[in-house]
């Protein structure tokens, strides 16, 4: 709970600082420092929810919180349209960064109403000196490696698809629907329903089956996008499964990581694996850009989406099924 307060406040402060920067270097540093809070927020929040919810509902609870991403995405999109419609562009981007300070008051709400999970307090009483690097000890290293590869696949697939697909559809398919509010709205709605569905399915059928099913469907959707020809109307409809599967697969990550690591190093394990996956997966768009210099952009997207979601399916097969697991110290 304390870490969540710190990361929310850190994120808000450095987002506000982005609004008043006077050079590219200043913006780069402020944005980078903001990222520390961004990554920390997910870790602290996912661990907190995972530890306070009973085992049979853990997937649904963490997935419901994860679904807030789609709601925030929709609000941010509306704010973007409103701010850039009312304010000159040279100031509008600063206003949007300044709005990023809005989560700061929630720190007081968290401090007043949210308690530390019982399982965490008990672990602190028995093993208070756990260190982050314990996740690389011989008895837990194999789990850390597999969980990290899983996160790389999930995040790499998402980045590979969402970063380059709009460019591909506009430049090589010459579709005008891409980038419009209608198309983005369909993707956001698909993402929200995907988060909720993935959360329910992971509790109903297990974490491993959910990862394999969503990864297979996400890959199939990307290949359909890049290999088959569609008109604007069909492409608008395809935005729903794209958002549904590419986002819905994230719902199972938090519960799985919570259940894989013992309480004394849960935060370290969960935070490292998820954010290592985020950092490594972010390289995929760069690699697609390089490969597209020797082949078509559509083929490059398909190749890296196949690599990413293939990693998810293979890694899921090696990980234990943790659905309903009681958290252990």
**pLDDT per residue rounded down to tens, the chain (329 residues):** 999 999 999 999 999 999 999 999 999 999 999 999 988 999 999 999 999 999 999 999 999 998 999 999 899 989 988 998 999 999 999 999 999 999 999 999 988 888 888 887 777 656 556 677 899 999 999 999 999 999 999 999 999 988 887 788 777 777 766 666 777 888 899 999 999 999 999 999 999 999 999 999 999 999 988 888 777 788 888 889 999 999 999 999 999 999 999 998 999 999 999 999 999 999 999 999 999 999 988 899 999 999 999 999 999 999 999 999 988 75
Query: Looking up tokens 């370290």, which residue turns up?
Result: 268
Query: Looking up tokens 């990693």, which residue turns up?
Result: 311
Could you tell me the two tokens for 303? 């190749």
Task: Name, in order, each residue with C-beta under 8 angstroms of 172's C-beta and a sequence gap of 6 or more.
Answer: 296, 297, 298
Beta carbons of 276 and 146 less than 8 angstroms apart: no
What span, in angstroms and rounded, lies between the C-alpha atoms of 99 and 321? 41
What span, in angstroms and rounded, lies between the C-alpha atoms of 306 and 285? 14
Phi-psi label, residue 206: left if phi above 0, alpha if psi -120 to 50, beta otherwise: left
CA distances from 111 to 6, 37, 51, 107, 266 (A): 11, 17, 18, 6, 22
Q: Choose among 308, 290, 298, 210: nearest CA to 255.
A: 210
Could you tell me the two tokens for 300? 């490059």
Q: Choose among 274, 307, 281, 46: nearest CA to 147.
A: 274
Q: What is the pLDDT of residue 311?
A: 97
Q: How many CB atoms lie within 10 A of CB 136?
A: 13
What span, in angstroms and rounded, lies between the C-alpha atoms of 139 and 222? 38
- SS3 (DSSP) at 292: coil
What span, in angstroms and rounded, lies between the C-alpha atoms of 146 and 57? 24
What span, in angstroms and rounded, lies between the C-alpha atoms of 215 and 202? 13
Could you tell me the two tokens for 97? 């960064």
């Amino acid at each position: 709970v304390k870490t969540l307060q710190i990361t929310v406040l850190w994120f808000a402060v450095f987002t506000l600082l982005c609004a008043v920067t006077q050079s590219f270097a200043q913006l780069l540093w402020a944005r980078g420092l903001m990222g520390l809070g961004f990554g920390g927020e997910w870790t602290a929040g996912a661990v907190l929810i995972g530890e306070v919810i009973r085992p049979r509902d853990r997937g649904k609870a963490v997935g419901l919180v994860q679904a807030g991403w789609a709601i925030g995405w929709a609000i941010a999109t509306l704010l973007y349209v409103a701010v850039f419609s009312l304010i000159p562009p040279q100031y509008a981007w600063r206003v949007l960064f300044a709005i990023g300070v809005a989560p700061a008051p929630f720190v007081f709400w968290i401090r007043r109403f949210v308690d530390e999970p019982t399982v965490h307090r008990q672990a602190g009483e028995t093993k208070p000196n756990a260190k982050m690097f314990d996740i690389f000890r011989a008895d837990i290293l194999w789990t850390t490696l597999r969980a990290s590869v899983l996160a790389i696949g999930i995040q790499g697939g998402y980045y590979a698809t969402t970063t380059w697909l709009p460019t591909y559809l506009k430049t090589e398919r010459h579709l005008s629907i891409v980038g419009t509010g209608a198309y983005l709205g369909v993707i956001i709605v698909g993402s929200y329903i995907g988060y909720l569905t993935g959360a329910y399915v992971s509790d109903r059928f297990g974490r491993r089956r959910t990862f394999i099913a969503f990864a297979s469907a996400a890959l199939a959707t990307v290949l359909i996008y890049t290999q088959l020809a569609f008109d604007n109307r069909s492409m608008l409809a395809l935005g729903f499964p794209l958002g549904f599967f590419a986002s819905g697969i994230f719902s199972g990550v938090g519960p799985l990581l919570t259940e894989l690591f013992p309480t004394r190093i849960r935060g370290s394990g969960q935070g490292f694996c998820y954010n290592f996956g985020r950092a490594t997966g972010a390289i995929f768009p760069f690699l697609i850009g390089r490969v597209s210099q020797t082949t078509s952009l559509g083929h490059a997207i398909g190749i890296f989406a196949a690599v990413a979601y293939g990693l998810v399916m293979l890694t899921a097969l090696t990980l234990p099924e943790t659905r309903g697991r009681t958290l252990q110290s």
